[in-house]
C-alpha cells in the first residue's frame, strides 16, 4: 500500500508539474499576445505609411499638374507676346503711313500759304484782297492743325518703335535661352517622381526658358537643370539626370546659379 508520505509526494510532484505547465502556457500566451500586438502595430504603421504615400503621390500629381499648367501658361504668354509684337508692327506701319500723308499735306499747305502770300503783293497782308486773305487764313489754320497732327503722329511712331524694340529684344533673349549672368536662387521644392524642381527666381530676376542653371550644395557643383517654364518670381526646371553624381539627389535648399550660356 502506498504510504501517506508517498501520496503526498506524488501530489506535490503533480502540483509542481501543473504549475510548470501553467507557467509555460502563460509564457506562450504572453508571447502570443506580444506577437499579436506587434503585428497589429506593424499593420497600423503599414497603413499609415501607405496613407502617407498616397497623400504624397496625390500631392506630387497635383504639383506636376500645376507645373504643367504654369508651363502651358508661359507658352501661351510667349505666343501672346508674338501676337502683340505683330500688332505693334502693324500699328507702327499704319502710323508711319499716316505720318507720311501728314507730311505731304503739310508740304502742300506750306506751298499754298507761300503762293497766297506772294500773290498778295510783296507779302503785305493789308494789300491782300479779302477773299484771298480768307483763303490764306484758312490755309494757315489747316497748316497749324496738320503740323500738330504730324507732331503727334511722330511721337506715336517713336513710342511704337520703342515698344517693338523692347519686345524684339525680349523675344531674342528668350529664344537664345540666355539668363542674366550672376542670377542665383534656391530650390524651393523637388519632385523626384517627375524629375523637376521649383526655384525661387523667375522672369523678374532674368530667368528665361530653355536655359541651364548650375546646382550647388555648400558651394560644390552637384548637377544642372534646364528651365522649362518661368513665372514672375518663380520658375520650374527639369533636372538633367546625367549631370548628377551617382546616389546624389537635388534637395530643397540647394542653390542654383546661372554662370554662363550653357544652352546649345
pLDDT tens for each residue of 26-59: 778 887 888 888 888 888 888 888 887 778 777 7
Q: Is the pTM of this model over 0.75?
A: no
Predicted pLDDT at 124: 45
Contact in structure between 183 and 205 (CB atoms under 8 Å) = yes
Domain 184-257 in this protein, CATH class: mainly beta
Own/partner pairs, 150-156, CB within 8 angstroms, 24+ separation: 150/99, 150/102, 150/103, 150/106, 153/95, 153/98, 153/99, 153/102, 154/99, 156/95
Q: What angle do CA 244, 50, 40 make, to 5 degrees?
A: 135
Predicted pLDDT at 187: 94
pLDDT tens for each residue of 153-171: 888 888 888 888 877 777 6
Dist CA 72 CA 82 (whole Å): 15
234 backbone dihedrals φ, ψ, rounded to 5°: -140, 170
Give pLDDT < 50 ranges for the chain.
121-127, 261-264
Amino acid at each position: 500500500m502506498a504510504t501517506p508520505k508517498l501520496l503526498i509526494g506524488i501530489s506535490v510532484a503533480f502540483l509542481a508539474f501543473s504549475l510548470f505547465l501553467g507557467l509555460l502556457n502563460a509564457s506562450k500566451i504572453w508571447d502570443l499576445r506580444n506577437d499579436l500586438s506587434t503585428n497589429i502595430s506593424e499593420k497600423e504603421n503599414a497603413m499609415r505609411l501607405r496613407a502617407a504615400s498616397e497623400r504624397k503621390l496625390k500631392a506630387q500629381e497635383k504639383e506636376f499638374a500645376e507645373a504643367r499648367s504654369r508651363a502651358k501658361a508661359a507658352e501661351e504668354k510667349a505666343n501672346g507676346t508674338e501676337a502683340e509684337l505683330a500688332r505693334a508692327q502693324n500699328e507702327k506701319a499704319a502710323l508711319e503711313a499716316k505720318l507720311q500723308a501728314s507730311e505731304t499735306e503739310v508740304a502742300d499747305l506750306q506751298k499754298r500759304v507761300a503762293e497766297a502770300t506772294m500773290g498778295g503783293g510783296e507779302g503785305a497782308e493789308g494789300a491782300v484782297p479779302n477773299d484771298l486773305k480768307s483763303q490764306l487764313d484758312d490755309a494757315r489754320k489747316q497748316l497749324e492743325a496738320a503740323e500738330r497732327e504730324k507732331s503727334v503722329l511722330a511721337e506715336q511712331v517713336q513710342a511704337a518703335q520703342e515698344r517693338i524694340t523692347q519686345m524684339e529684344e525680349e523675344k531674342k533673349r528668350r529664344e537664345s535661352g540666355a539668363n542674366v549672368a550672376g542670377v542665383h536662387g534656391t530650390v524651393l521644392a523637388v519632385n523626384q517622381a517627375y524629375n523637376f524642381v521649383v526655384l525661387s527666381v523667375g522672369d523678374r530676376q532674368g530667368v528665361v526658358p530653355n536655359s541651364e542653371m548650375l546646382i550647388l550644395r555648400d558651394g560644390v557643383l552637384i548637377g544642372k537643370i534646364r528651365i522649362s517654364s518661368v513665372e514672375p518670381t518663380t520658375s520650374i526646371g527639369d533636372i538633367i539626370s546625367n549631370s548628377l553624381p551617382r546616389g546624389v539627389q537635388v534637395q530643397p535648399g540647394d542653390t542654383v546659379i546661372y554662370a554662363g550660356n550653357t544652352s546649345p
